[in-house]
C-alpha cells in the first residue's frame, strides 16, 4: 500500500508504547461528575436542571440558550442528584458553569438510563438523521468541538465528493483512536456508512498512519462486510506530525489544498474523527447520547498508563488510587490533550470533557523548561510549518500590536499545531502568542 504524506512537519518521538495495542478500560462509576454546560464551538447553552433534581444517565441537562443551529445539548453522564450548579475551571483554562451530579449507583443499569429511542439511519430522512446527531449532543471528538450536525449539512453551493475518517492520531502519547479501532471496527465502519447516507457522498477514505498499519486487515474485513452503497478505502499515511490536522490529511490523501481562510468543504471534503463516527453509530442503534469519552492517560508520573472510557465530567483524581497509580509527587506538568496542542493545567481537579483526548502526567525528565530568549532569525519555524506560514513575522507583528500585519502573515490560517514552538532554539512561546493574538483580534473587532 502506497504511503501518503504532506510537505514539512516533524518526526516526533511517539511516546505511545505505554498504551499502544490496548483497548479502553472502563473506569469505576464515579461518585460525582462535574459537567460543563458549554463544551462545543458555537452559541452558549443554558442549564435546564436545578439543585436537588434527580437525573438519569443520558438525560438532557443543558440546551441552547436561544434558537439556532450552532448549539448541541449536554446530558447527564451518571444517574444521581444535582448537588450544585457553579463555575469551575475547565480544560481550556477558563471558568465555565458546570452541573455537579452526585451519583446514586455503583454500576450502570438500564433502569437508570434515559436514552433516545433507536432510529434507522438508512430509512429516516436526512433532516431526522441530522436532528438525531444534534439531540445526541455530538461534537467533533478530535478537539475543536464543532457541532457535528452542522458539519454534515454543508451549504448547497458546496460540492462534497469525499468523506475522510480521520484516524491519523499524530499527537505523541495518545492512542485513543487506535483503541477504538481495535475494539469497535465494525461500529466505526457503520458510522462511516451512516455519514455517507446523510451526505449523499459515495466515496470515503479512512486516513491511517503507518504505525497502525496492522489495523488495515481488520478494517478492510469490516469494509467488505458492510455492503456499503459507496466506495470505502484505506489511505495509509507516513507517521509525521501534524498528519492528523484536517488540512494536512486532505493534502496527503487527495493532493487538494484547503484555501486560505477556507474549510475542508472548500476542498470538496468532510473530515470526521474516527471516535465521532463510533458515537454517531451508537446514537442511532442504541439511542445513546455523547456521555462517555475514550481517552489516554499516560506520562512518567502515571504508574498504570492506559486508555480509559470515562463518563463526561469525571475527575481523574477522584478515581480509586490503584486504578491509575498516580505518583503526585513526580508530576511536573499536567496536560489535557496531547503534548503539542494540549493545555497545561494546575491540577487534576479539572473534569474530562467531550473533546478530552488525553490527560498526560509528565515527570521532570519529560518536561523541558527553558526561559524564552531573543529570536536568532534561524527560520526553523518557517522551514517546518506544515501550513507554510511565517511564524517569526506573525510573532513580531503581535509583539508590536499590529494585528493586521499578523493576519496578513497568516495568523488566522495557523492551526496551532505547536511545530514552530517545538523547533525554536530560543524557546519562544509562539503558539501561546498566536492564540492570544487571535483572541485579542476578535475582541478588537467586537469593540
Structure-derived torsion over alpha carbons of residues 395, 401, 406, 411, reported in degrees to the nearest 10: 80
Segment 431-435 mean pLDDT: 93
The x, y and z cell numbers of residue 378, run together, are 534561524
286 close to 115: Cβ distance less than 8 angstroms: yes
Strands 231-237 and 203-209, how do they pair? parallel
| Cα(299)–Cα(85) distance, integer angstroms | 32
Q: What angle do CA 174, 238, 14 make, to 5 degrees?
A: 30
Taking alpha carbons only, the member of 165, 184, 166 closest to residue 174 is: 166
Segment 202-208 mean pLDDT: 96
* Range with the poorest average pLDDT among 10-14, 68-72, 117-121, 172-176: 68-72
The x, y and z cell numbers of residue 442, run together, are 476578535
Residue spans per domain, the chain: 126-285, 380-446
The x, y and z cell numbers of residue 134, run together, are 444534534
What is the pLDDT, as a whole number, of residue 307?
98
**Cα–chain-centroid distance for residue 118?**
25
Helix axes 176-183 and 185-199, enclosed angle (nearest 10)? 100
The x, y and z cell numbers of residue 354, run together, are 467531550
| Cα(45)–Cα(42) distance, integer angstroms | 9
The x, y and z cell numbers of residue 414, run together, are 495557523
Q: What is the mean pLDDT of the chain?
A: 94
What is the pLDDT, as a whole number, of residue 445?
78
* Model confidence at 105: pLDDT above 90: no
What is the pLDDT, as a whole number, of residue 266?
95
**Cα–chain-centroid distance for residue 137?**
14
SS3 call for 182? helix
Taking alpha carbons only, the member of 215, 216, 219 closest to residue 228 is: 219
pLDDT one-digit tens code per residue, 261-294:
899 999 999 999 999 999 999 999 999 999 999 9
Strands 95-103 and 80-89, how do they pair? antiparallel
What is the pLDDT, as a whole number, of residue 69?
84
| Cross-strand bridge partners of residue 32 | 102
- Annotate 189-258 with three-state secondary structure: HHHHHHHHHHHCCCEEEEEEEHHHHHHHHHHHHHHHHHCCCCEEEEEEECCCECCCCHHHHHHHHHCCCC
Neighbouring C-beta atoms of residue 214, cutoff 10 Å: 11
* 8-state DSSP, 117: P
What is the pLDDT, as a whole number, of residue 2?
75
Segment 343-371 mean pLDDT: 93
Neighbouring C-beta atoms of residue 297, cutoff 10 Å: 27
Written as one string, the DSSP assignment of 298-353 is ESTTBSS-EEEEEETT--GGGS-HHHH-B-GGG-SEEEES-TTT-EEES-S-SPP-
Q: How many CA atoms lie within 13 A of 112 on its CB side?
A: 17
CATH fold of 126-285: Rossmann fold (3.40.50)
What is the pLDDT, as a whole number, of residue 145?
86
| Cα(382)–Cα(376) distance, integer angstroms | 13
What is the pLDDT, as a whole number, of residue 1?
64
pLDDT one-digit tens code per residue, 128-167:
999 999 999 999 987 778 999 999 999 999 999 999 999 9
Q: What percent of the chain has pLDDT over 70?
A: 99
| Cα(248)–Cα(7) distance, integer angstroms | 9
Tell me which H or E stretch contains 381.
helix 380-384
**Cα–chain-centroid distance for residue 238?**
21
188 close to 181: Cβ distance less than 8 angstroms: yes
| Cα(248)–Cα(240) distance, integer angstroms | 10
| Cα(204)–Cα(187) distance, integer angstroms | 15
Buried b (16+ CB within 10 A) or exposed e, 9-40: bbebebbbebbeebebeebebbebbbbbbbbb
User: Who contacts 54 (Cβ-Cβ below 8 Å, separation ≥6)?
Assistant: 80, 81, 82, 104
The x, y and z cell numbers of residue 435, run together, are 492564540
pLDDT one-digit tens code per residue, 375-399:
999 999 999 999 999 999 999 999 9
Segment 224-230 mean pLDDT: 81
What is the pLDDT, as a whole number, of residue 254?
96
Amino acid at each position: 500500500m502506497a504511503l501518503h504524506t504532506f510537505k514539512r512537519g516533524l518526526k516526533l518521538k511517539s511516546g505511545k508504547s505505554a498504551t499502544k495495542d490496548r483497548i479502553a478500560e472502563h473506569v469505576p462509576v464515579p461518585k460525582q461528575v462535574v459537567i460543563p454546560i458549554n463544551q462545543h464551538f458555537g452559541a452558549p447553552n443554558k442549564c435546564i436542571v436545578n439543585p436537588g433534581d434527580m437525573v438519569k444517565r443520558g438525560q438532557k441537562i443543558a440546551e441552547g440558550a436561544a434558537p439556532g443551529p450552532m448549539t448541541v445539548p449536554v446530558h447527564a453522564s451518571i444517574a444521581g442528584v444535582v448537588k450544585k450548579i457553579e463555575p469551575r475551571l475547565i480544560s481550556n483554562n477558563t471558568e465555565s458553569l458546570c452541573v455537579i451530579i452526585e451519583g446514586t449507583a455503583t454500576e450502570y443499569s438500564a433502569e437508570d438510563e434515559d436514552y433516545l429511542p433507536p432510529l434507522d439511519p438508512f430509512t429516516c430522512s436526512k433532516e431526522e438523521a441530522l436532528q438525531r446527531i444534534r439531540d445526541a449532543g455530538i461534537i467533533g471528538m478530535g478537539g475543536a468541538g464543532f457541532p457535528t450536525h452542522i458539519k454534515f449539512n454543508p451549504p448547497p453551493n458546496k460540492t462534497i465528493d469525499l468523506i475522510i475518517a480521520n484516524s491519523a492520531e499524530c499527537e505523541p502519547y495518545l492512542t485513543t483512536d487506535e483503541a477504538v479501532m481495535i475494539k469497535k471496527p465494525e461500529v466505526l465502519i457503520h458510522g462511516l456508512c451512516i455519514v455517507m447516507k446523510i451526505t449523499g457522498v459515495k466515496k470515503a477514505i479512512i486516513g491511517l498512519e503507518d504505525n497502525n498499519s496492522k489495523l488495515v486487515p481488520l478494517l478492510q474485513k469490516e469494509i467488505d462486510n458492510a455492503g456499503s452503497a459507496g466506495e470505502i478505502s484505506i489511505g495509509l499515511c507516513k507517521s509525521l506530525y501534524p498528519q492528523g490536522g484536517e488540512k494536512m490529511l486532505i493534502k496527503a490523501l487527495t493532493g487538494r489544498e484547503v484555501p486560505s481562510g477556507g474549510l475542508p468543504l472548500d476542498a470538496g471534503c468532510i473530515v470526521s474523527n474516527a471516535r465521532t463516527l463510533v458515537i454517531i453509530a451508537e446514537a442511532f442503534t442504541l439511542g445513546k447520547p455523547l456521555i462517555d469519552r475514550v481517552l489516554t492517560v499516560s506520562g512518567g508520573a502515571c504508574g498504570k498508563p492506559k486508555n480509559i472510557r470515562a463518563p463526561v465530567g469525571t475527575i481523574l483524581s477522584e478515581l480509586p488510587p490503584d486504578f491509575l497509580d498516580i505518583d503526585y509527587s513526580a508530576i511536573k506538568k499536567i496536560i489535557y490533550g496531547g503534548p503539542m496542542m494540549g493545555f497545561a493545567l494546575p491540577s487534576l481537579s479539572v473534569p474530562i470533557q467531550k473533546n478530552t483526548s488525553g490527560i498526560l502526567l509528565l515527570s521532570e525528565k519529560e518536561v523541558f523548561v527553558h526561559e524564552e530568549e531573543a529570536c536568532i532569525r534561524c527560520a526553523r519555524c518557517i522551514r517546518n510549518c506544515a501550513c507554510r506560514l511565517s511564524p517569526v513575522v506573525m510573532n513580531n507583528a503581535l509583539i508590536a500590536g499590529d494585528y493586521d500585519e499578523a493576519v496578513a502573515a497568516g495568523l488566522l490560517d495557523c492551526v496551532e499545531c505547536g511545530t514552530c514552538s517545538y523547533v525554536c532554539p530560543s524557546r519562544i512561546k509562539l503558539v501561546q502568542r498566536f492564540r492570544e493574538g487571535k483572541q485579542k483580534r476578535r475582541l478588537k473587532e467586537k469593540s
